[in-house]
Chains A and B, each alone.
Chain A
Amino acid sequence: MLLTDPAFIRRLESLYLLARKVLGGTLQADRKSARKGAGITFADYSEYSFGDDYRAIDWRVYARLDALMIKLFELEEDVTIYFLLDASKSMDAKFLYARQLVAALAYVALHSLDKVVIYGIAEELRPVTRPTLGRGKTLSVLQELEEAQSFGKGTDFTVAARQLCQWHKKRGMVIAVSDFFFPAGFEEGLKFLRWNHHDIFCIQVQDRADRECRLKGDVELQCVESGQLRKLTITGSEARAYEQAVRDWNAHLNEFCAAGGIGLVSTTTEVPFEEIIQNILRRGGLVS
């Protein structure tokens, strides 16, 4: 299905309406930051320290506890949403699905008047769309996303994260859509993004071929990205070992994200993408 197809856009519109209903009209809740700042929504108390705004001191608490405490409010800021779309060869079978997810989230963001930038990642970062703001840019974003191609001979998420941080000093929300099969690992990249104060949300997209081994007998395995070849006789034990390795890898991603306050949704291409978006919205947005 084309991303600019009217039927597809109608489906995105439905998702946006759901977002308004669930999140009260704006997508701000989607990108609710854990950082505290000058908003209007009370978040927490904190001990007063030198340099804090004394206007935030809660005198009622001082009267009761004889201690200086300041009120903290949720930060409300104009953020940019960075989409990191895995465009490596390993995503070939899942690329359309991943683009549909990105399109849906970008559509909602643009209609919520947030700035959207979409990058393709492989062994480097490659822009798919320029930074875009406003509902009127929706169609052009979808067109550019539709024309996006996979590229590269490998995937290095760490390099992509460093490039993003070099290109965009302003912190924002990073939404990574990938199968997260990064031979060099995903930990460094995610840590680097978090170090640069980005809010991170990961959407892991895999298909059945990624999780189940249906190969049997003598095969010559070829990496779809690097073209590397390895001969192997696959019996039931080897197939089970591979499937366990995939489960371990995914479990590690899940634990890492949970420990680092990173939102994560894992899905397969069999699940309709609207179902994933609805699930994200019903959970309260792009929060961990």
Chain B
Amino acid sequence: MTFLHPAYFLALLGLIPLVAVYFLKVRPKRKAVTALFLWQAILDQKKNTALFHRLRDLLSLLLMALALLAIVLAMTSPEVGSDQRKDLLLIVDNSASMNAIEDDRARLDRAREIASGIVRGLNTNQQAAIAAVSLDVQYRSHFTTSPKTLRDAIRSIEPSDCPFDPEALQALTVGIPSMSDFRTILISDGCGFVPDTNSPIELIKVGSDQGNIGFLTCDLRRLDGLETRARLYYRLASSFEEEVTTDLVITYGPENRIVKVMPVTIQPGINDSEVVTLEGGEPGPWRATLDLPDALARDNVALLALQPKLPVKVRVESDHTFFLVNSVNAFARTSGDLQHVESGADVVLANGAVPQAQRAILLGVPEEAGWWGQVGPEVDDVLARIRIEDHPILADCDIDAMPFLGARQIAPPADSLIIAETAAHVPLIYRVRQGQRSALVINMDPIESEFFYSAWFPVLVYNGARHLMGRQDSIPAACAVGDSVPIPTSSYGAEATKVTIDDAPESFELTGSAYGPIRRAGLHTLENASGRWSVGANLFAASETLLDDHGAVDTSLPLNRGWPLSLILALIAAALLLTEGVLYQRRKVG
């Protein structure tokens, strides 16, 4: 034990006047009475307690002496252990696994309690800062000596749905050059933590092995061509040491109408994926639930959303419509993603014409138009070269098999997105926008190229129509917390999208063509001018579901926690003085 201020031991000299005052104090006052003989019977009854009275006086002196000793010890600021008393950066893990329940308490509560204990143990010169970590590190307070600020910061750490990302901590160590000036202490269950002996971060581990099951991934899709059937894909994991059997309950809609209940047997560790066919393919929220109480409840539910069927309506404008209509109907009859219409079209498919539509796929460049300017002579070398690899318009297409015969020398507008071109930089496929209008130009003569006979023709129409409508990337039924999802928009992200989570009354708006990273589990609904879609955000993290903390060990160095010893001594002194006060009260006022 060390004493920061040993000079205060001199205050023990106060015992001398204390004893003197005690002997003066305990002498009772003399009171004259007229009928002492009437008190005699009462005095006789009190004889049994006379010994206690004598001891009580001695006890009072003892209590006062002990109280003085405790006060003096408190003043000397004693410390046990070898805490370096450096400033502290306390990082509390608030990832999803910290919501696991142990002994009716969440691990996060335990972590917050430890952090509060460390804050209580700080001396007056020590500073500390509070941060939370899951996907990234979020500071909750700056370095301060104010215990209240630190306690408020600890209280502000809420459980999150995000998995723990060890890279966030690595970024922290890289971002702060002078980490040797303070100690960085991570309070975590260690799930997802990558131990590193060279890391300056000390780990205080909370939690122990717990049994838990959960979804690692889950997806739901309609069977192509069958609107009334869907397939559920899922993969489960278990941290139980033995296999467990439970029911998988699949429900639909906000009322959770049960669609299917099936028993599942889950092996320890990560299980093989399974696919289940469901009767019913209604759009809307779906839910798969594992009916087993375990340590972590939130990975027992997978939220999913089947998107409504919104086919891209395509009108054909050509002298020869047969092949063009059939190219549309090819996808109308199978996936249903396209629909041929005569009016009210989203996209116009034109051959040899320049329609005045908002979105158009133009085959050939027949005459001068705003989309390509002046039309020049045919190009001899029509061997296509891809300028943008993996562009969705060319998905599933073999561009080398496409003959661009009849391609003309054109000069597209400056902001055109050229996807394929010739060696001489004559654009063969490009996308162009003018105000609210957009077009996909395919620079070829389809008849001369016999493109209508090509298998890639309907594929190119399909890709082009969906790209112009911003639906080339479909929204998944479910995603993991931390992922981003595409936002279907025909204005390339210029329009605002309203986001609502779990039918909450409050919502927020965003712009862009992607939403994320998603930080909250739940059913996220996106709504803009192009339509309304939903996606279920779920934990889907093996390290969290398996509560995988076996690689993490407590590496914390000695650290003062809990109430300071001086405060405890002060409280003891107060208790002793209170006891003496009671005795004094009894002596003086009965």
Query: Residues on A close to B: CB < 8 A?
Result: 90, 93, 179, 181, 183, 209-210, 215-224, 226, 228-236, 238-239, 241-242, 245-246, 249
Q: Which residues of B contact A245 (CB under 8 A)?
A: 38-39, 41-42
User: Is B43's CB under 8 angstroms from A230's CB?
Assistant: yes
Question: Who on chain B is nearest to A181 by CB?
Answer: B35
6 closest residue pairs by CB, A with B: A216-B590, A218-B28, A223-B36, A90-B34, A183-B37, A217-B588
Report B104 CB to chain A, min CB distance, Å.
47
Whether B30 is near chain A, meaning CB under 8 Å from some CB there, is: yes
19 contacts between A and B (CB under 8 A): A93-B34, A181-B38, A183-B36, A183-B37, A217-B586, A217-B587, A218-B587, A219-B31, A220-B31, A222-B33, A224-B32, A233-B586, A233-B590, A236-B590, A241-B41, A241-B42, A242-B38, A249-B35, A249-B38
Q: How far is the CA of A239 from the CA of B28 in the complex (A)?
A: 17
Q: B30 contacts A246, CB within 8 Å?
A: no
Q: A218-B28, A229-B30 are in contact. Are A246 and B35 (CB under 8 A)?
A: yes
A209 to B43, CA, bound (A): 19
Given A230-B43, A245-B41, A245-B42, does the pair A239, B590 have CB atoms closer than 8 Å? yes
The count of residues in chain B whose C-beta lies closer than 8 Å to any C-beta of chain A is 24
The answer to whether B437 has its CB under 8 Å from any CB of chain A is no
- Known interface pairs A217-B588, A220-B28. Does A232 touch B42 (Cβ–Cβ under 8 Å)? yes
Query: Considering the chains assembled together, what is the distance between the CA atoms of A114 and B42 in angstroms?
Result: 46
Closest partner residue, chain A, to B30 (CB atom): A220
Q: Is B309 an interface residue (CB 8 A)?
A: no
Whole-angstrom distance from the CB of A103 to the nearest CB of chain B? Answer: 23
Known pairs A93-B34, A216-B589 / 19 extra A-B pairs, C-beta < 8 Å: A90-B35, A179-B34, A183-B37, A218-B588, A220-B30, A220-B31, A223-B33, A224-B32, A224-B34, A232-B43, A232-B46, A233-B590, A238-B42, A241-B41, A242-B39, A242-B42, A245-B42, A249-B35, A249-B38
A202 to B309, CA, bound (A): 117
A210 touches B34 (CB 8 A): yes
Does residue B148 face the partner (Cβ distance < 8 Å to A)?
no
Given A90-B35, A245-B41, A249-B38: A233 and B587 interface contact (C-beta under 8 Å): yes
Query: B46: shortest Cβ distance to chain A, in Å?
Result: 7
Residues of A within 8 A of B42 (CB): 232, 238, 241-242, 245
Which of A181, A215, A228, A241 contacts B31, CB < 8 Å? A215
Closest CB of chain B to A244's CB: distance in Å?
A: 10
- Check B53 for interface membership: any CB of A closer than 8 A: yes
- Is the CB of B29 closer than 8 A to any CB of chain A? yes
CB nearest neighbor in B for A245: B38
Are A234 and B36 touching (Cβ within 8 A)? no
Q: Do most interface residues of chain A lie in helix, strand or loop, or is the interface mixed?
A: mixed
Most buried by B among A218, A234, A238: A218
Chain A residues lying within 8 Å of B34, measured Cβ to Cβ, are 90, 93, 179, 181, 209-210, 224
Complex interface: chain B residues within 8 A of A179 (CB): 34
- Asked if A220 contacts B33 (CB within 8 A), the reply is no
The answer to whether A220 touches B29 (Cβ under 8 A) is yes
Question: Nearest Cβ in chain A — how far from B48, in angstroms?
Answer: 13
Measured in the bound complex, the distance between the Cα atoms of B45 and A216 in whole Å is: 17
Map CB proximity to A onto B10-32 as digits: 1 under 8 Å, 0 otherwise.
Answer: 00000000000000001011111
Give the distance in Å from the alpha carbon of A228 to the alpha carbon of B43 in the complex: 13
Q: How far is the CB of A71 from chain B (nearest CB, A)?
A: 49
* B38 close to A219 (CB less than 8 A): no
Give the CA-CA distance A207 to B32 in the complex, in Å. Answer: 14
Which chain A residues lie closer than 8 Å to B45 at the CB level?
Answer: 241
How long is the Cα–Cα vector from A230 to B30 in the complex, in angstroms? 9
User: Given that A241-B42, A246-B35 are contacting pairs, would A219 and B30 also be in contact in the complex, using a CB cutoff of 8 Å?
Assistant: yes
Q: How far is the CB of B405 from chain A (nearest CB, A)?
A: 118
In the assembled complex, the CB of B29 is this many whole angstroms from the nearest CB of chain A, namely 6
Chain B, residue nearest A217 (CB): B588
Residues of chain B with a CB closer than 8 A to A221's CB: 31, 33, 36, 39
Q: Is the pair B36, A226 in contact by a Cβ cutoff of 8 Å?
A: yes
Given A220-B28, A220-B30, A232-B42, A210:B586 Cβ within 8 A? no
A219 neighbours in B (Cβ, 8 Å)? 28-31
Complex interface: chain B residues within 8 A of A224 (CB): 32-34
Q: Which residues of B contact A209 (CB under 8 A)?
A: 34
**Residues of A contacting B31 in the complex (Cβ-Cβ under 8 angstroms):** 215, 219-222
Contacts of A239 in B (CB 8 A): 590
A242 to chain B: which residues have CB within 8 Å? 38-39, 42
- Which residues of B sit under 8 angstroms from A233, Cβ to Cβ? 46, 53, 586-587, 590
Contacts of B589 in A (CB 8 A): 216-217
Q: Which residues of A are found within 8 Å of B53, using beta-carbon distances?
A: 233
Whole-angstrom distance between the alpha carbons of A234 and B33 in the complex?
A: 13
